[in-house]
Amino acid sequence: MKYLAALLLSATLLISSCTVNRKYTIQRYKTDHPAVIITGAVYDKKTKKKMPAVRIMSLMDSMKVNTDNDGNYTLKSTVGSQKLKAIWVGYYDVNTKKIMLNRGDSLMIDFYMKEDNRPLID
């Protein structure tokens, strides 16, 4: 019984810490489309507002796109392993872990960027 209680407490703490400290979320869907489509939005982690003009880039095949005026993006990718990075001046970069993409995958990846308050060096 103590083991079960400890396990439930550990799981609850893990889930709550992931929710509070998340840098990105991923939802995967299957489609009939042969290409891999990645869509999503970029949010300021503190204000929860969408961020326009954030650079989203693939670290595996050098594809790049910027978020639109509403903070949304769409990126066509290839089958295989992929890592994405969100970059914006004044914010910490956000990198995804390696994601395996298969034919017909459609992913929604939302990034949550934290403001970088370190002073800029001249």
Task: Give the pLDDT of residue 18.
Answer: 45
**Residue 2's pLDDT is what?**
58
Q: pLDDT of 19-68, one tens digit each?
A: 456 899 999 999 888 889 999 999 999 999 999 999 999 998 889 999 99
pTM: 0.80
Residues 6+ apart with CB under 8 A from 38: 74, 75, 76, 77, 82, 84, 106, 107, 108, 109
Per CATH, is 23-113 categorized as 3.40.50.700? no
DSSP state of 71: S
Task: Give the residue extent of every domain in the chain.
Answer: 23-113
